[in-house]
Structure 1
Amino acid sequence: MSEQKLYKVTQVITDLEDDNQRYEPGKDLYPREGLKPTEERIKSLLKGNNRQQRPVIAELEESDYEQYGIERGTDEAQQEKEGAVDYSKMKKDELLEEAEALGVEADKKMTNDEIIQKIKSETE
């Protein structure tokens, strides 16, 4: 497998952005080998901002590594490269965009710190 960050599939997915590729829970990891989905696409599948209107993938848990036959660390190198998003370096417009992409309600009246706190509290 590549260094692409992997997610477990929690609901049946027919990925319309990948030539109707079918993913099954308990069987498949997302994304398949060779697919490089956008960050926005991954967030929509994680947060339920998709056609099913519910989360259909989830972060891998410790027990998933054995179930899917992958070594711990297969996707960790990519995760470490990506790291956590540093919201403190973002402008208000960027924070509002990020909040919207994550399905978090925020508006221009809020301070940057309030937006950051709301994003973190609703996505962690």
Structure 2
Amino acid sequence: MEDKQYVAVEYFRDMEDENTEYDFGTIYPREGVDVPEERIQSLLTGKNRRNKKMIMEIKRLDPKLSKEEELEALKVDELKELAEQKEVEYDSKTTKPQLIKALLEAKE
């Protein structure tokens, strides 16, 4: 798991980690916490209590990056997946900068 990094695509409270809250865009798991692979898989696949995909794998990011820089590091397909999870509307002509702007605005 050390070479992988995940981001929350949905708000959730991790009952297996002292009820830690993860908001959309938050890196999962929090620093210093080791999470069993089974837990990662349940959150990645939606095989959990909410039956929803709660996290997605992303490229390892520099923790000093802003939210905009983190989104900029994602591929368009990854941004579209986040947009769908956040119920942000877009169409086939939506550009990467437009997706980033819409996701940043949706967080607020």
TM-score of the superposed pair, with normalisation by structure 2? 0.53
Q: 2:31 aligns to what SS in structure 1?
A: coil
Distance 2:5 2:18 in 1: 19
Report the number of matched residues. 67
What is the identity, as a one-letter code, of the residue corresponding to 1:35?
V
Please state how far the C-alpha of 1:60 moved relative to its aligned partner.
Answer: 0.9
Please state how far the C-alpha of 1:13 moved relative to its aligned partner.
Answer: 1.2
More helix by share: 1
Q: Which residue of 1 aligns with 2:6?
A: 7
In structure 2, the gaps of 5 or more residues are 74-108
Q: Does 1:57 align with 2:55?
A: yes
What root-mean-square deviation, in Å, do the aligned CA atoms of Structure 1 and Structure 2 show?
Answer: 2.7
Q: Which residue of 1 aligns with 2:45?
A: 47
Deviation per residue, 1:25-72 (Å, 9 max, x gap): 12x10010011000000000000011110110001159x7655467x8
Please state how far the C-alpha of 1:6 moved relative to its aligned partner.
Answer: 1.5
Deviation per residue, 1:53-93 (Å, 9 max, x gap): 0110001159x7655467x8xxxxxxxxxxxxxxxxxxxxx
Q: Which residue of 2 aligns with 1:17?
A: 16
Distance 1:19 1:4 in 2: 24
Q: 2:38 aligns to what SS in structure 1?
A: helix
Greater C-alpha radius of gyration = 1
Query: Judging changes above 3 Å, is the alpha-carbon distance between structure 1 residues 7 and 45 closer, same or farther for their aligned structure 2 residues?
Result: same
Distance 1:61 1:5 in 2: 7
TM-score of the superposed pair, with normalisation by structure 1? 0.46
What is the identity, as a one-letter code, of the residue corresponding to 1:34?
G
Contact 2:5 2:59 survives alignment (8 Å): no
Q: 2:40 aligns to what SS in structure 1?
A: helix
What is the identity, as a one-letter code, of the residue corresponding to 2:4?
K
Q: 1:14 aligns to what SS in structure 2?
A: strand
Query: Judging changes above 3 Å, is the alpha-carbon distance between structure 1 residues 50 and 24 closer, same or farther for their aligned structure 2 residues?
Result: same
Q: Runs of 4+ in structure 1 displaced over 2 angstroms?
A: 64-70
